[in-house]
Structure 1
Amino acid sequence: MLFAAIIFLVLALIALLVARGYKSTSPTGERTKKTSVVATWVSASLALIAVTFAAFASFYTQDAGTAVVEKDITGNIVGQSNSTGLHGKAPWVNTVEFSIRNQQVVFAGTSDNDSDNNGGVANGAQITVQDADGVSSNIDIALRYSIAPDSVTDIYKEFLSEENFKKSFIEQDVRSVVRLVPNQFSTLDLLTKRGEVEAAVLEALEDRWSDDGVIVDSISLQEIRVPDAVKESYAAAQQAQINVTKETANLEAAQVSAQQKVVQAQAEADANAILNGSLTENILSQRYLDTLKELAAAGNLVVVPEGFNGLVNVTK
């Protein structure tokens, strides 16, 4: 706007000089007089256009979710605005917008043009990491972050634009931290404790950016790809653990069954011991006599020789 205003102002001055020139060289000529009048009107029109452009250059609108840095034509920062609406400024002051909304960085796939798994294009390829066991894996990760409004001026001073800030700072730090954090985890933990790995990455980035005006909103480890040999070994280890659990359960069941049999046998032995202990000589003699009575009552003849321990049944 300011550049256009300057151009029209220059043209207005030129037209004004032309008008004055025609007026001074031929004050009595009718054609020359008309030319001078036309040049004067052209000059006035151009001046009005220049003023209009200068007026437009003196205001700007700011949307929600943005912060604006104001700088003059020499590059000096003269102000910053964090509020929405219409703002005034000097015509020679330019504005640079920074988004303070939630933004996303995704590293996924094997090349820079792969999908971000959300309908867009990833910011970069997968990140290769090495865990505490020395095993290399590839990680797809998505990060959501936002910029603190009060830090926009400092960010502009160092990076000049939001795009440079994202490429040179955010993306580089994410790659660096994601490469370092898995060194604290074993291969098995990296596969089975994804929540703990995410929390460790989040904490590391928050510590790294605590003084830089960057707020980490969320982190998602979308996928962790370990070498095929590691996956096969892990699957075999899982199956072995399942087999051990199964055999342990079978052994425990057998032990319970054996214990039940022991308890049953002990109960029977205890019952027999009680029974045997209760069969005294008097009780046995009484049962002997009761049996003879029952046989006699049924019409049977029972002969018991003296000293004979058995019975001989003689029917009628």
Structure 2
Amino acid sequence: MAGASVILIFAGVVLSLITIVSLLIASMGRLNTDQIAISYNMISKKLSRDVQASGLHLNAPGFKFIIFPSVFTSMEFDDISCLNHDGVSINLDVTLQFQADPKHLYDIVLQFKDFEGYKKILYATGRAAVHDTCAHFNTTAFQSMRGYFQVKLLEEMKGTFSPFYAILRDLQVNNVRRPGDFETAVKDKEAAKENIKIAENERPKLLTQARTEYQKALKQAQIIKERADTDSNIILNQADAEAQAVRTRYTLETDTYAELKRKMQLSVESLLNYMAIRVIGSSKNDVYINLKSPAQDIYNEENAFLFILETTQQKLYDGSKNFFRKLKDSTISNETKSLPIISCCSSMHCTIPIVSICDYCEKQYCSNHLTPCLQCNKTYCPYCSTNIDEILPCNITADQNEQKINVQYKTKPIQDEFIIQFTGYYNTITRSNYLTRVFERNHVSYEIIQRNNLLQHYPSDFDIVR
């Protein structure tokens, strides 16, 4: 019996030790360095007011720790959508760091049970603070006043978390997202501002370039104007000189023709014929003569006219042989020369200056080619002195009866024969050359009717062609 008692005593002691150890173990708790807590007795349902820090703690059996962080904890509000002052939806991310006030940990546990419940209340309160703060800013302020918005939100959060005994240390606003159209408009506006700044920076440079080009253009215009003025002055001076030369030439030519007309006692028509002959003779190009239609008179056998044949030196020998010689030489050499008008002797090959004129035909001759009349003391050219008796008697024989020859003749039209009239008196070779050139150019076959009379060796103003 004694042995059994010992065993029982020993078993009781062991059980007591086990129980004591178990109770000791159940009464002890450990907190980490980043934790604080208050104990709660689950048996007596009592909450301790003492805040226990990190380390090993001995409490009444059946307790548990209600643990809170002893350091600041981050809370993130991701993609919060709020309406700003303009009614535009803004999305943003907010991160804050908070800590439960250890002095009021007992009240916090009484209200929110534990840290998880406490954190849920703070999260909901924080979102409300974000919405309230966002409503005070317009859309542009989120871009231009980002720092001020963050400060205002931190103050709003502190005021909101204060009734919950939360200590708020810092807050960050990240990734503010405005509507796409607004972002595009803002980007365009910012780009426009940058372009304006660039333009303002480039403006002085461009103005300088424009002023340089302007001054350059002014100088160039001045140079062009001066050059044009110089050229115009040169042209005007040349034109004045040429005009003066032309006036001088025509004045000299006019005076020369006037002197020629006076000395040779020519009529205006005779002077014009003389000038036309010179123009034709000095021309390099072909000369086309305007041919007048020949007159064709029809007479019957009953008609008869009195034809008074008055042969005069003016008709037979009008025009200067010396002039035709020079005209022919110029035509053969194909040289166009302005022949100076020189008052020379009308005799062939004589170049002695004129000193007198023939009293009958009024041709100009030198003293070597004038013969004085022994009866009337007048001077005559070689032709007139030879034929003076046949042409016209001098004053001494003027009282003699004029000899008139009455000739009766008949005319009839001749087919395919035409009279070609020239504008002056030419010799046979010159007339033939003119006709040959005109008819061959126009591909016309012709034949010049040769004359067989006393006048065939003298210059004439017409030809008959078939």
Using structure 1 for the length normalisation, give the TM-score: 0.59
Structure 1 residue matching 2:162: 3-state secondary structure: coil
Match of 2:143 among 185, 188, 191: 191
Aligned partners of 1:71 and 1:93 also within 8 Å: yes
> Per-residue displacement from partner, 1:247-267 (whole Å, max 9, x unpaired)?
34444566788999xxxxxxx
2:14 & 2:82 partners in 1: Cα distance? 67
Structure 1 position 165, deviation (Å): 0.8
Match of 1:106 in 2: 76
2:48 & 2:197 partners in 1: Cα distance? 71
Match of 1:138 in 2: 91
Match of 1:64 in 2: 33
Match of 1:203 among 155, 159, 183: 155
Match of 2:173 in 1: 221
Counterpart residue type for residue 193 of structure 2: Q
Counterpart residue type for residue 88 of structure 1: L
> Per-residue displacement from partner, 1:108-159 (whole Å, max 9, x unpaired)?
3xxxxxxxxxxxxxxxxx2101111111021112111122211211110011
1:138 & 1:92 partners in 2: Cα distance? 49
Match of 1:85 among 36, 40, 55: 55
1:258 & 1:82 partners in 2: Cα distance? 83
Structure 1 residue matching 2:175: 3-state secondary structure: strand
Q: RMSD over aligned Cα, in angstroms?
A: 2.9
Count of aligned pairs: 213
Aligned partners of 1:67 and 1:152 also within 8 Å: no
Structure 2 residue matching 1:141: 3-state secondary structure: strand
Structure 2 residue 123 is the aligned partner of structure 1 residue 177? no
Aligned partners of 2:122 and 2:161 also within 8 Å: no
Aligned partners of 1:141 and 1:221 also within 8 Å: yes
What are structure 2's unaligned runs of at least 5 residues? Answer: 213-466
> Per-residue displacement from partner, 1:31-75 (whole Å, max 9, x unpaired)?
xx75x7656544433332111111123333333332221222343
Q: Which has the higher helix share?
A: 1
> Does the C-alpha gap of structure 1 residues 57 and 163 become closer, same or farther in structure 2, counting only changes over 3 Å?
same
Aligned partners of 2:51 and 2:105 also within 8 Å: no
Counterpart residue type for residue 71 of structure 2: R
Match of 2:22 in 1: 53
Counterpart residue type for residue 47 of structure 1: S
* Comparing 235-244 and 54-63, the one that deviates more: 54-63
> Per-residue displacement from partner, 1:192-213 (whole Å, max 9, x unpaired)?
3221111111110111223432
Aligned partners of 1:182 and 1:190 also within 8 Å: no
Structure 2 residue 202 is the aligned partner of structure 1 residue 233? no
2:144 & 2:18 partners in 1: Cα distance? 69
Match of 2:80 in 1: 127
> Does the C-alpha gap of structure 1 residues 258 and 224 become closer, same or farther in structure 2, counting only changes over 3 Å?
same
What are the equivalent positions in structure 2 for 1:246-285 lying under 5 Å apart? 246-251=198-203
Counterpart residue type for residue 74 of structure 2: Q
Match of 1:152 in 2: 105
Structure 1 position 93, deviation (Å): 3.6
Counterpart residue type for residue 200 of structure 1: K
1:223 & 1:79 partners in 2: Cα distance? 43
Structure 1 position 223, deviation (Å): 0.8
Counterpart residue type for residue 234 of structure 1: V
Match of 2:196 in 1: 244
Match of 1:166 among 113, 119, 123: 119
Using structure 2 for the length normalisation, give the TM-score: 0.41
1:82 & 1:193 partners in 2: Cα distance? 44
> Per-residue displacement from partner, 1:3-56 (whole Å, max 9, x unpaired)?
xxxxxxxxxxxxxxxxxxxxxxxx7xx9xx75x765654443333211111112
Structure 1 position 162, deviation (Å): 0.7
Aligned partners of 2:72 and 2:97 also within 8 Å: yes
Match of 1:94 among 55, 64, 72: 64
Counterpart residue type for residue 241 of structure 1: K
1:180 & 1:210 partners in 2: Cα distance? 16
Bigger Rg, which one: 2
Structure 1 residue matching 2:50: 3-state secondary structure: strand
Task: Indicate the percent of aligned positions where both proteins have the same amino acid.
Answer: 21
Aligned partners of 2:81 and 2:90 also within 8 Å: yes
Structure 1 position 78, deviation (Å): 2.6
